[in-house]
């Protein structure tokens, strides 16, 4: 099966700011103003802020059905997006206030706890099929556009860092084969799990902890000043994926899942084991050698990724241990 290229529909708002954004995108001409003050006081990890921010960012990807592409650079909407970004970024910086050097941040990514208690450990050891399906729904928000946000950093790099990152992206995009693009593999995984494969089909189902992980990528990708952070995010993802992918493959095998479900994760075991070294030495190493001042930005990207992934894991495991869905809507 082939990943459909349909344009997603606008989501259901989750508060006053996201309602204002969604309502505005349905209007032509645009409204004279948007709720900047409400944006500035929104919960930095809340549903309203992250849906509003996700909708704003999506205009730079595929956009939404019946929404003019002119909205991508509409000044009033960009002003609102900037206010939301400031709230989100300030919260991340406050939560990561202690200073960590780059070598330590990278080394920490390589540490695997002996008795892990994360989501992939849970799914491998005792997870149920309904929990696995929920997890796959959460991750669809990113994996159906896998590696797209990181492409924004390419023109902002140079030399070996640029060449090496493009090599990693080439693998993410299937090595020139459309059917091997990781987003395409994920669409097949969803179909194998009996789930919908449409791009952002599950946006109304997925809560803020998952949206925040994708919003971080878009935030860093759309700001030249955060290019180091985006490289840090990409490095964190590539370095930590192989062990978790191995656990996910075992979980799906234990659950007798369709082969297409298992294949997505086995592909990442092999690919990301190589990418780990490329990202650490050729991309991060060369970048900070050329621009030493970006070292702390790279650290921020790594640690913000870890923070948001932990928040997502806590949300998932708390819900499942209580016997309830981790989604806003059942699937």
Rounded Cα–Cα distance for residues 121 and 105 (Å): 23
Quote the mean pLDDT of the chain: 95
Domain coverage including residue 246: 102-321
Kindly state the helix (H) or strand (E) to which residue 301 belongs, with its residue range. Answer: helix 295-321
Q: What is the C-alpha separation between 132 and 140, in angstroms, rounded?
A: 12
In terms of domains, do 84 and 172 share one?
no
Q: Cα–Cα distance between 317 and 120 in angstroms, integer?
A: 10
* Residues 120, 260 share a domain: yes
Query: What is the model's pLDDT at position 260?
Result: 98
- What's the total number of domains in the chain? 2
Closest to 123 in 3D by CA, of 254, 229, 286: 254
Question: In this structure, is residue 156 part of a structural domain?
Answer: yes
Task: Let me know if residue 10 belongs to a domain.
Answer: no
| Closest to 298 measured CA to CA, from 191, 226, 204 | 226
CB atoms within 10 A of CB 29: 8
Domain boundary among 69, 95, 121: 95
pTM exceeds 0.75: yes
Of the candidates 68, 63, 78, the residue with the CA atom closest to the CA atom of residue 26: 68
Do 131 and 91 reside in the same domain of the chain?
Answer: no
Phi and psi, residue 233, nearest 5° = -60, -50
Nearest residue to 149 via CA among 161, 137, 165: 165
Cβ proximity of 176 and 170 under 8 Å: yes
Q: In the listed set 95, 113, 131, which residue is the last one of a domain according to the structure? A: 95
Predicted pLDDT at 187 = 98
**Which tens digit of pLDDT belongs to each residue from 110-135?**
888 767 889 999 999 999 999 999 99
The answer to whether residue 9 is domain-embedded is no
CB 232 within 8 A of CB 288: no
**Where among 48, 68, 95 does a domain terminate?**
95
Q: Are residues 139 and 281 in the same domain?
A: yes
Say what the pLDDT of residue 2 is: 53
Distances (CA, A) of 56 to 39, 53, 62, 222, 244: 13, 5, 11, 12, 31
Residue 8 lies in a domain: no
Please state, in angstroms and rounded to a whole number, the distance separating the CA atoms of residues 166 and 156: 12
- Are 43 and 114 within one domain? no
> What pLDDT is attached to residue 6?
80
My answer on whether 201 and 261 are in the same domain is yes
Q: According to the model, what pLDDT value does residue 270 have?
A: 75
Residue 4 within a domain: no
- The CATH number covering residue 242 comes to 1.20.910.10
Residues in the chain: 331
Asked whether the bond before 182 is cis by omega within 30 degrees of 0, the reply is no
- Report the alpha-carbon distance of residue 102 to residue 296 in Å, rounded: 7
Please provide the distance, in angstroms rounded to a whole number, between the alpha carbons at the two ends of the chain.
Answer: 21
Distance between CA atoms of 126 and 117, rounded to whole angstroms? 11
The neighbour count for residue 209, using CB atoms within 10 Å, is 21
Q: Where are the alpha helices (DSSP H) in 206-258?
A: 208-221, 227-254
86 and 148 together in one domain: no
- C-alpha to C-alpha distance for 246 and 239, rounded to whole angstroms: 13
Residue 207, in any domain of the structure? yes
Residues 83 and 116 in one domain: no
Residues 91, 111: one domain? no
Predicted local distance difference test score (pLDDT) of residue 272 = 67
Q: Does residue 174 sit within a domain?
A: yes
* Number of continuous H segments (helices) and E segments (strands) in the chain: 14, 0
* pLDDT beneath 50: ranges in the chain: none
**Are 150 and 184 members of one domain?**
yes
Q: Is residue 2 part of a domain?
A: no
């Amino acid at each position: 099966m082939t990943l459909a290229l349909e344009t997603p529909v606008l989501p259901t708002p989750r508060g006053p700011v996201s309602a204002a954004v969604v309502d505005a995108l349905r209007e032509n001409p645009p409204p004279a103003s948007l709720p900047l003050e409400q944006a500035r006081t929104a919960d930095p990890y809340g549903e309203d802020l992250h849906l509003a921010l996700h909708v704003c960012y999506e205009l730079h990807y595929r956009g939404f059905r019946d929404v003019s592409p002119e909205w991508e650079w509409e000044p009033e909407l960009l002003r609102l997006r900037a206010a939301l970004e400031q709230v989100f970024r300030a919260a991340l910086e406050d939560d990561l206030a202690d200073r960590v050097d780059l070598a330590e941040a990278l080394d920490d990514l390589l540490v695997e706890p002996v008795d892990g208690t994360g989501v992939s450990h849970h799914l491998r050891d005792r997870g149920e099929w309904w929990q696995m399906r929920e997890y796959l729904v959460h991750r669809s928000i990113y994996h159906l556009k896998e590696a797209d946000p990181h492409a924004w950093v390419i023109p902002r790099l140079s030399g070996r860092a640029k060449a090496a990152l493009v090599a990693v992206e080439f693998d993410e995009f299937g090595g020139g084969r459309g059917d091997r693009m990781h987003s395409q593999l994920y669409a097949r995984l969803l179909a194998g799990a009996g789930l919908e494969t449409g791009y952002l089909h599950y946006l109304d189902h997925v809560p803020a902890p998952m949206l925040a992980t994708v919003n971080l990528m878009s935030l860093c990708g759309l700001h030249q000043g955060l290019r180091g952070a985006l490289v840090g995010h990409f490095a964190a993802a590539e370095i930590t994926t192989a062990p978790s992918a191995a656990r996910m493959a075992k979980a799906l095998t234990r659950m007798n899942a369709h082969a297409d479900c298992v294949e997505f994760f086995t592909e990442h075991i092999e690919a990301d084991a190589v990418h780990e070294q490329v990202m650490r030495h050729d991309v991060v190493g060369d970048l900070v050698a050329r621009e030493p001042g970006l070292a702390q930005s790279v650290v921020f990207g790594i640690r913000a990724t870890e923070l948001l992934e932990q928040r997502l894991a806590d949300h998932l495991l708390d819900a499942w241990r209580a016997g309830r869905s981790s989604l806003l809507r059942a699937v």
